[in-house]
Amino acid sequence: MAFTQITVTGSYLDPTGQPETGWAVFQLSEQMTNDGVAATTEPVVAPLDGEGNLSIVLYATDDPDTLPTDAVYNVSLHLSGGIQTFTTTVPAASAGGTMRLGAATLTASFLSRVNYAATVTGWTLLGTAASDGFYESDIVHNTGDGKYYVFSTKNNNSTIYRAHSDLTLLAAQTPVAVAPAVWYPTVSKAGSSWYLWGTSSSTATSLCTASGANSPGAFSLVGACKKNSPISHPTVGIIDSHIRYNSADGYWYMVGLSVEGYAGSEWPVVIWRCSDPPGAAQYWTQVGNVYDIFANTGLPSWAVNPTTHLFDVFDPDLVNPAPGEWYLSFSGYDGTTRSNGIIALDDSWRATGSAVLLTTAYSDVNYVQSPDGIVPDRLFGFAGTTFACLDLPL
């Protein structure tokens, strides 16, 4: 039986939604033979056309008479944002003789996935709360019980949460009060420890802790986040904070609005980091502010009021899809419309590239990575009593 020929295709957009330019290179990991025919191990190139599509005919890797049985194609995708490499098999049983390279094995970039979802598939409304809505919220997935936990602000003076494994049923759950003196929550879980940071006054972010293999108990206040210097360790003047751990360098990173830098109607967005574990007092060092963050790119037009020429950025959230890979989601106001977008951050914590506009309907956009490789990576957005998700291509 001869080799089965399969047409392999793919389609790619850049972060602005325009067709990508570039090419893909396919090369067998070892020579395959079938019925006296030997497949070349030389690299073959498939250029992207003007619509960002590629198409190439390759030999299947699993025909009954093909040897060896474990050959794969090494693929390198050359796009405007860089080179990505991966391996893939080509099944002989591909429907219609065509195999589409999916994002499970081939993704142009995280922002390309985000942009495709925002412009093509769109947001999915998950539910509406009857009371005590999703104000200033954060969401985490707990692998221990398979539930999503949404922590939200109640009455601008306390924190509640709802939890369910079915996102469409989460809004109907009775909210549980957990932190009566902290609001604008941001949450992380490690083992059986829950960590909650939130605004605890008009000038500070504080840490609370709780325990629970699955759902948390009541949180206990540890204290306000402190500056690493001077020696007196004054309080870090940040509100509306969002905190995530970076496994690449062992630091916790906090983004928020600077009370100390407030000028008239502008709240500088600042980033601080801390290596102290969150079980006790934490001491933080500033690594960036809004003027530095957008120094190379400028703010998008939807985050600048054209009348006052002032920037209006709020609800900043850190997005960390992979160790060492960071993005900033943030809301902006142009004097008429509130919008939310996302932009990449480089190693110096400055914005790079173009911001992707996500939505004008939701804010506090949080990222949750797929818990099982089957459910897609998702962005979650909140608006008053409603919350929604944006499923990213696998």
Instruction: List, for residues 142-195, the tens digit of each pLDDT value.
Output: 988 999 999 999 988 899 999 999 999 999 999 999 988 899 999 999 888 999
Same domain membership, residue 142 and residue 81:
no
Q: What CATH number does the domain containing 48 carry? A: 2.60.40.3390
287 and 305 in a single domain? The answer is: yes
Among candidate residues 103, 129, 281, the one with its CA nearest the CA of residue 205: 281
Residues 309, 307: Cα–Cα separation, whole Å: 6
Domain check: are 180 and 261 in the same one?
A: yes
Count of helices and strands (H, E) across the chain: 3, 30
Parts of the chain with a pLDDT under 70: 14-17, 81-83, 102-108, 262-265, 289-292, 308-311, 373, 394
Same domain? 326 vs 202: yes
Assess whether 271 and 233 both reside in one domain. yes
202, 264: one domain? yes
Render pLDDT for 323-382 as a digit per residue (tens, 0 to 9): 778 999 999 988 899 999 999 998 888 888 888 999 999 988 999 988 876 788 899 999
Question: Are residues 319 and 244 both part of a single domain?
Answer: yes
> Do 236 and 352 fall within a single domain?
yes
Helix (H) or strand (E) holding 116: helix 110-116
CATH number of the domain residue 371 falls in: 2.115.10.20
Does residue 181 sit in the same domain as residue 264? yes
Nearest to 295 by CA among 339, 337, 254, 348: 348
pTM for the predicted model, two decimal places: 0.73
Say what percent of the chain tops pLDDT 70: 92
Q: What is the number of structural domains in the chain? A: 2
| Average pLDDT score over the chain | 87
Q: Let me know whether 200 and 162 are in one domain.
A: yes
Mind spelling out the 3-state secondary structure of 132-185?
Answer: CCCEEEEEEEECCCCEEEEEEEECCCEEEEEEECCHHHHCCCCCEEEECCCEEE
Residue ranges making up the domain that contains 132: 117-391
Same domain, 284 and 386: yes
Identify whether residues 93 and 241 lie together within a single domain.
no
